[in-house]
A = this chain, B = another copy of it.
């Protein structure tokens, strides 16, 4: 590949001039500009991205970081990614998906700064080691999801109000008459699982329900499929706790597992079992049988807001920490209804 020196030589100017022609950071006469551009075209020259980044101390790349040992993007991540990409697109940034195994990063020979101007961290966990690491460098970060308390005032983040949201939807189910729940939650080490558990517990306690009337199951391993977790856990729990009339699922894929479990057990939805999901899918969930009732998290908007916040921080106000709460919408379709009380028996 031709270098800037080749072009300088070919067009009879200094490399500084060629640089200015391409960066437009300093005026160059029209005549010279044309000569340089012609020579560049002739030689098929393009400025080298790395050299430029090195000198500029900027890459116009932002990173999207998922926990190293978790490689698969979910449905939710897809919407999120689309939101982030939209902002990147609008501002001429590229997006680097950063998912190196920690075994790789910890080796001396692979140690390096991240090649980005800023980074979005997905799925924060309690005491997430990624945060401390970034905080000591000078790459701005924005989390999607709440950081654990020790970082709460030291980073920007975008999140739903998971506590309030979960409390509200639990109240909705309580309002329908449900008194015994299975809550299929996110993996325990994720902060979002805490928040949702808190909201759920606040609502059931407020209603005066005893701990025996609800089961909270945490997805053990982020790598195993949500569908399977939903299926197996529901199967097991409904067998050991046949009084359960409503299941709250962490994702719509998980909810699908619940549907399958209900089928296996011969339970009709929503007649004998109500299913509620935290979801973001506007295409598939309405087509479930029955159409899924749930709450939209607006993943795409989460992504958009996070990217916007990050760019703000990159281009100026570094060191200020903002928090953006994205509202959620409950979408009532047909998978939740009043429970048939098959214990008391005095219902129409």
Q: What residues make up the interface of A, taking CB atoms closer than 8 Å to B?
A: 1, 21-24, 37, 44, 46-54, 59, 61, 71-73, 75, 78, 81-82, 85-86, 88-89, 92, 94-101, 104, 108-115, 136-138, 227, 253, 256, 259, 283-284, 287-289
Contact = CB atoms under 8 A, between A and B. Distances in A.
B283 A115 contact: no
Contacts of A49: 112-115
Contacts of A227: 283
A16 to B, nearest CB: 16
Given A51-B54, A256-B283, A22 B113 contact: no
B47 A50 contact: no
Contacts of A136: 44
Contacts of A98: 94
A99 B44 CA distance: 22
Contacts of A115: 49-50, 53, 59, 61, 94, 115
A49 to B, nearest CB: 4
A71 B47 contact: no
Contacts of A51: 54
Contacts of A81: 73
8 A-B pairs closest in CB distance: A49-B115, A95-B97, A50-B53, A289-B289, A50-B54, A24-B109, A49-B112, A78-B78
A24 to B, nearest CB: 4
22 contacts: A1-B113, A22-B109, A23-B109, A24-B108, A24-B109, A44-B137, A46-B111, A48-B54, A49-B112, A50-B115, A52-B112, A59-B115, A61-B115, A71-B89, A72-B82, A72-B85, A73-B85, A85-B99, A92-B101, A92-B104, A94-B100, A227-B283
B110 A99 contact: no
A48 B112 contact: yes
A85 B61 CA distance: 18
